[in-house]
Amino acid sequence: MKKIQMLIGGRWVGGEGDEWLPVHDPSDGTQIAEIINGTDAHVDEAVRAAEAAFESEEWRAWKPHERGNLLIELARHIRENAEHFAELECRDVGKPLTQARADAEAAARYFEFYGGAADKAMGDTIPIEDGLLNATVLEPAGVTAHIVPWNYPLQIIARSVGAAIATGNSVVVKSAEDTPMTAHALTEWFANSGLPAGIFNHVTGLGSGAGAALSAHPNINHVTFTGSVPTGIAVMQAAAKNVVPVTLELGGKSPNIVFADADEEKALDGVVRAIIQNAGQTCSAGSRLLVEERYKEEFLGKLKERFDALEVGRGMDDKDIGPILNKRQFDGIMRRIDEAKKQGKLIAGGEEVKVDGADGGHYIAPTIIDGLDHSCDVAQEEIFGPVLSVFTFRTPQEAIDLANSTDYGLVAGVWTKDIDVAHTLAARIKAGQVFINNYGAGGGIQMPFGGYKKSGIGREKGFIALRNYVQVKNIAVKFGV
């Protein structure tokens, strides 16, 4: 069992005087690690260490391409140890090993992408008048906080920390108390990387403790948070008291919209993958199916066959669907399913699955619910499990209205061969990403990712995310004789 210490100012912190919290493998409930329950004092120490490192002459001397080379070296390290990172993520989160391997490669791509971008984040010259040279300069924000969720820790650390370090910031990462393993593996690499002490810091503990203290700290210059809407609101309120900007990637209730002329096989594959990824514990999960009314029975019948054939099992056994994170999450999902059974029609799943040799794990059969009123809570609120609710439409306008009828707007998928229909929906759906004849969820390192409405504020990924971590300074030089 691994005892995970925190990295603060280049030192490993944590000992007998600290409170330690258990970390469990969701597949069978066994304890696999312990973390320190970080306190306000730990967070303050980490932020001040990051601030001192950011202001140091040593860090100022690092050239942009040198920061980039370090991130590219980290990408190489992840690829060389891909199976190790994948197994850690699998045991930590519970997701199937194949999905964890994809996460490891995505993390490498993030560090590689932002490593390559480090010396390409440039300002502009702006024509004003003769004798005036006006230029904008991009300067690092300072100390950036990264509050990481439990469902994709390896990927999400990589996508925000990569962009922050590429632009010259120092960072404090707060990993999720349930899934700290890959965060710690990255921390070990940073500790031995030659990066100035304090540029990368990792604190652990409860979100209500260390996470809240980090988002409220007056010496933080930017907060990046991925998680639930209520916690996102709390983070935003805490940061607002210090007039600190935030990037929030929150919940989703994303639709897959299937027209009768869609390529059936591709649509079926896309709809299934969009809801079973990480057992549906994904903010961008395609948790609503909107299907053209005249095509519904045919498509739904074939979709049920696909669902019934899916295998549920432990992450390391690499089945189609892994476990739910813990009993609290499991109980919440099952309550929603029970509620849906009373209000609609169960088409597939809807029950707990017992997995041999995994008595301490919590598993749910992939579930399809039809016949719900679209205004009911199950249809409107994020369930965060392998639960798909089905609705029908007759016209493109009805599909648009249904797609936009929740408080969320993260992702949408449109399945049709009619290019006019596809582009009309893409233009009018209120979502940060719209996929036509595919469903990439958060995938695509270069693709800006973020939401409308309660799905969040700002965009991560791609070049646009670099702007989260810089200040724009305008410099005007008057010259002439």
Catalogue the active-site residues. 249
Q: ∠ at Cα 247 (228, 20), nearest 5°?
A: 55
Whole-number Å distance between alpha carbons of 427 and 375? 24
Whole-number Å distance between alpha carbons of 329 and 383? 9
* 456-457 and 470-478 beta bridge pairing: unpaired
Q: At what angle do helices 82-93 and 153-166 cross, to 10 degrees?
A: 120
Residue keyed to tokens 């930017």: 222
DSSP code, position 227: S
DSSP code, position 358: -
Measuring CA to CA, how many Å separate 222 from each of 202, 238, 240, 306? 16, 12, 11, 44
Q: At what angle do helices 82-93 and 64-80 cross, to 10 degrees?
A: 80
CA atoms within 13 A on the CB side of 89: 32
Whole-number Å distance between alpha carbons of 320 and 308? 11
Check if the beta carbon of residue 257 is closer than 8 Å to that of residue 415: yes
Whole-number Å distance between alpha carbons of 336 and 7? 39
Whole-number Å distance between alpha carbons of 338 and 332? 10
Whole-number Å distance between alpha carbons of 124 and 467? 14
CA-based Rg of the chain, rounded to a whole angstrom? 23
Residue 471 pairs in a beta bridge with: 139
Check if the beta carbon of residue 369 is closer than 8 Å to that of residue 386: no
CA atoms within 13 A on the CB side of 296: 15
- Comparing CA positions, the residue from 423, 461, 375 lying closest to residue 159 is 461
Q: Write the DSSP assignment of 435-460 as a string of letters.
A: EES---TT--TTS-B--EETTEES-B
Whole-number Å distance between alpha carbons of 132 and 480? 9
Q: At what angle do helices 264-276 and 296-309 cross, to 10 degrees?
A: 50
